[in-house]
Amino acid sequence: MTRSDFLPYGRQSIDDDDISAVVSALRADMLTTGPLVDAFEMALARATGAAHAVACNNGTSALYLAAKALDIGVGDVVIVPSMTFLATASAPHLAGAEIVFSDVDPDTGLMRPEDLETALKFAAKHRSERDVKAAFVVHLNGQTADMPALKAIADRSNVALVEDACHALGGLARTANDQGADGLDSVVGDCRWSSMAIFSFHPVKSVAMGEGGAVTTGDAAYAEKLRLLRNHGMSRLPADWENQGMAVSALGETNPWYYELVAAGFNFRVPDILCALGISQMRKLDRWSERRRLLHQEYCTLLDVAGLPDIAPARVSWGRPAWHLCAVRIPFAERGLDRASVMLRLRSEFGVGSQVHYIPVHRQTYWRHRYGVFGLPGADHYYSSALSLPLYPSLTDADVNRVVDALARTIS
């Protein structure tokens, strides 16, 4: 095995056109906030069907911006599924909220309607249900949570929904044929059942910008607030200004240098250079999403052929995922297997990378110190069996064959 034979669990695809796009941006006048930020936002809005897209420097900032746009702060509670990346909980917490971790389906890792109900009841008992401002729903591995059902529950409790769609760009949340849908496709990020949706453009995600993130929303007021807050909370819009004495000259003209701080914010801007890469990558999204679907299907078919159909990723009955991860479910303990040894053997003997997504967030030291030690059986079970196999558009069918063969040899 040579180094180039190694198959990581995920990787970006950078072509010559991506490189040319970045080089052109470097030769342009604006390196940071320029015309390519707007163009990238338009491409994302078009791809998702959202009315507005606001780009920023990474997915974590996007989550934080969404929390701030919802006015989440100290005294508020946000519900977050424990099966996610750390940032889904850290971001609203840094905005001031306490987190109530919800459980997830033990097979898919997705927050179910009953998990949201249970988390709301927990919040009502330990704090006050009134304090629950939002639930951040995660579309794990590319599959979407049951948004219409979650929305019905959230509405009853006056709770906003934010979708962490970092895994799900390019997929459909519902198809026209799904039961309970109204005959229309719903694209991930169109925010049909949510206030906002979050995306990341980290290299391992389906579209790469190096670092990058975005919020999509159907609400113009949220979009305006997101734009304000990604740029320090400083406004150059006269409509936002209160201090007319400083804003306007003695002659009644708006002072050309004037801006006003209307909220305290960070610099979460994304440079034009990276948006050039994002725009170029977005052109390939449909093709790559289809390739991810085919590869995922190929994995399922070959696992079946290898006599391992029971470890294939669990499917929900709705939607059409543009799979971000291929997460098989191996009951390691029951089979007398040690997950670390399986991963090491896959790597050293077969050149196959793998990863675990994720350690349940409620088990992390920071949260344990804050909220104590407790079990969430669905999340704990999902974690105990999860293993992500290589999945990215440049993977070949032969690669998938090689991975399944290696896995079958390693765990049989």
Ligand X SMILES: *Cc1c(COP(=O)(O)O)cnc(C)c1O
Residue number with CB closer to ligand X (58 or 216): 58
Position among 41, 98, 163, 164 found at the interface with ligand X (CB under 6 A): 164
Exposed, middle or buried: residue 345 (CB in 10 Å: 0-12, 13-18, 19+)? Answer: middle
Segment 208-237, which members bind ligand X (CB under 6 A)? Answer: 213
CB of 13 to ligand X, least distance (A): 17
Stretch that binds ligand X, among 46-54, 159-167, 173-181, 274-282 (CB under 6 A): 159-167
Look up residue 175 and give its two tokens: 């198809």
Question: Considering only residues 12, 88, 90, 354, which one is a binding residue for ligand X as defined by CB under 6 A?
Answer: 88
d(CA 322, CA 165): 11
Measured distance CA(307)–CA(408) in Å, rounded = 9
Instruction: Kindly determine how many residues on this chain lie close enough to bind ligand X according to the rule CB under 6 A.
Output: 14
Does residue 202 bind ligand X (CB under 6 A)? yes
87 binds ligand X (CB under 6 A): yes
Is 209:270 a contact under the CB 8 Å cutoff? yes
Is residue 82 at the binding interface for ligand X, with CB under 6 A as the rule?
A: no
15-74 residues near ligand X, rule: CB under 6 A: 58-60
What minimum distance in Å lies between the beta carbon of 24 and ligand X? 24
E strands present in 18-64: 52-56
For every residue of 238-270, which 3-state class applies, written as one string? HHHCCCHHHHECCCCCECCCCCEECCCCCECCC
Alpha-carbon span 147 to 153, nearest angstrom: 10
Beta-ladder partners of 199: 214
CA atoms of 12 and 334, how far apart (whole Å):
35
Q: Does 388 bind ligand X (CB under 6 A)?
A: no
Supply the minimum distance, in Å, between the C-beta of residue 412 and ligand X. 31
Compare residues 60 and 217 and give the one whose CB is closer to ligand X: 60
Residue closest to ligand X, measured at CB: 59
Please give the single-letter amino acid code of residue 15.
D
Burial of 149 (0-12, 13-18, 19+ CB in 10 A): middle
CB of residue 357 vs ligand X: minimum separation in angstroms? 8
Q: Is 292 in the site for ligand X (CB under 6 A)?
A: no
Sole window of 164-172, 259-267, 272-280, 291-299 interacting with ligand X (rule: CB under 6 A): 164-172
The contact set with ligand X (CB under 6 A) reads 58-60, 84-85, 87-88, 138, 164, 166-167, 200, 202, 213
